[in-house]
Structure 1
Amino acid sequence: MKQIILYIFICFSASGFSQKSISEVLDKYNEESIPYITVKDLFKKEKEVILLDARESSEFEVSHLKNALFVGYDNFNLKRTIKKINNKQQTIIVYCSLGIRSEDIAEKLKKAGYTNIYNLHGGIFEWKNNNFPVYNSIGKETDSIHTFNHEWSKWLKKGIKIYD
């Protein structure tokens, strides 16, 4: 269902019916079944949480949050992810580009019994927009951010926009 919504979002964005803020995008496409955490709140407790990146591998390789575990979206594997996170009460923050795909992945973890899950509001774009560091596939800090596509890139205000 979310893949259909993402497709609709991309089509409407391309035709000029786009929202004015990241919050409006998230309000429109998310159910808010998972509570949000702001990038500023995450930055304060980044070392205390498990970060899960719910984007595709090509996005993750270009840019990700430090110590994030890649779990993907299209090929997300719940069993493989559960093996990485034994404690179902551990604080888990799931993120993607903006916070739409990450809600889907967080919902799957919630259904599997994880109780302390948050969705990063504004995703990696908002993280970079607030001047927080991102890292590439070799662990080096980078200004490059994979923006998923040209339409979504408008939400990234800082950094170098990278596309496939």
Structure 2
Amino acid sequence: MWSYIKWSLLSLAFLPSACSQNTTGVHVTNPEFDQRLSRILRFSVPVVSVDSFYDHKKDFFILDTRTPEEYQVSHIRGAQYMNFSNPDYTVLRDIPKERPIVVYCSVGYRSEKIGEDLQKRGFSKVFNLYGSIFEWVNEGHPVVNSTGEVTQKVHTYNKRWSQYVYHPAIKKIW
């Protein structure tokens, strides 16, 4: 009987963390944005923080999974474009299956879906940039436009999602 009670109490102690979707230890700076991400992501693809990615960016193959319009407004320098709605996997034909890949979109939902596809295709080191391009610019990292010039513009998908880009220098476009 004691072991049953002890097991029940331990189960209750760990229940809140088991029910939380984001058990990765990776968070964005805005708690409201972090809660929103925790509700929309499944965490089926390992996440990487903006800081960790920034420190090792040169080691990753980077895929931007947004729409053509979003990518043209701005993207992370060095990112290859892969349209979420019509992905062209030929951009990966020369990429070894064990090469680390970071996928991103506006907030991480679309990139998570592409990341799942990449995992199914045998890529073993796929990471979703947590908070995606929104958190990237919120933390003050540069983005470039279609001609490769640094820009302060970010396509925020729509007005509702634009609330999660809060860096004062960023001009929101939707």
What TM-score results when the alignment is normalised by the length of structure 1? Answer: 0.83
CA distance in 1, matches of 2:142, 2:95: 28
Which residue does 1:120 correspond to in 2?
Answer: 129
Which residue does 2:92 correspond to in 1?
Answer: 82
The SS at the match of 1:145 is strand
Tell me which of the two structures has the higher relative contact order, counting C-alpha pairs closer than 8 angstroms and 6 or more residues apart.
1
Q: Is the 8 A contact 1:22 1:98 kept in 2?
A: no
The SS at the match of 2:54 is helix
CA distance in 2, matches of 1:156, 1:141: 17
Letter in 2 for 1:136: N
CA distance in 1, matches of 2:100, 2:33: 24
Alignment of 1:54 onto 2:27: no
Deviation at 1:72, TM superposition (A): 1.2
Which blocks of at least 5 consecutive residues in structure 2 are unaligned? 1-30
Deviation at 1:81, TM superposition (A): 3.5
The SS at the match of 1:98 is coil
Identity %: 35
Larger radius of gyration: 2
Which blocks of at least 5 consecutive residues in structure 1 are unaligned? 1-19
Deviation at 1:47, TM superposition (A): 1.1
CA distance in 1, matches of 2:32, 2:148: 31
Q: Which of these residues, 132, 145, 156, is aligned with residue 136 of structure 1?
A: 145
Which residue does 1:38 correspond to in 2?
Answer: 49
What value does the CA root-mean-square deviation take over the aligned residues? Answer: 1.1
1:24-35 to structure 2, matched below 5 A, reads 24-35=35-46
Deviation at 1:24, TM superposition (A): 1.6
Which residue does 1:155 correspond to in 2?
Answer: 164
Which residue does 1:4 correspond to in 2?
Answer: none
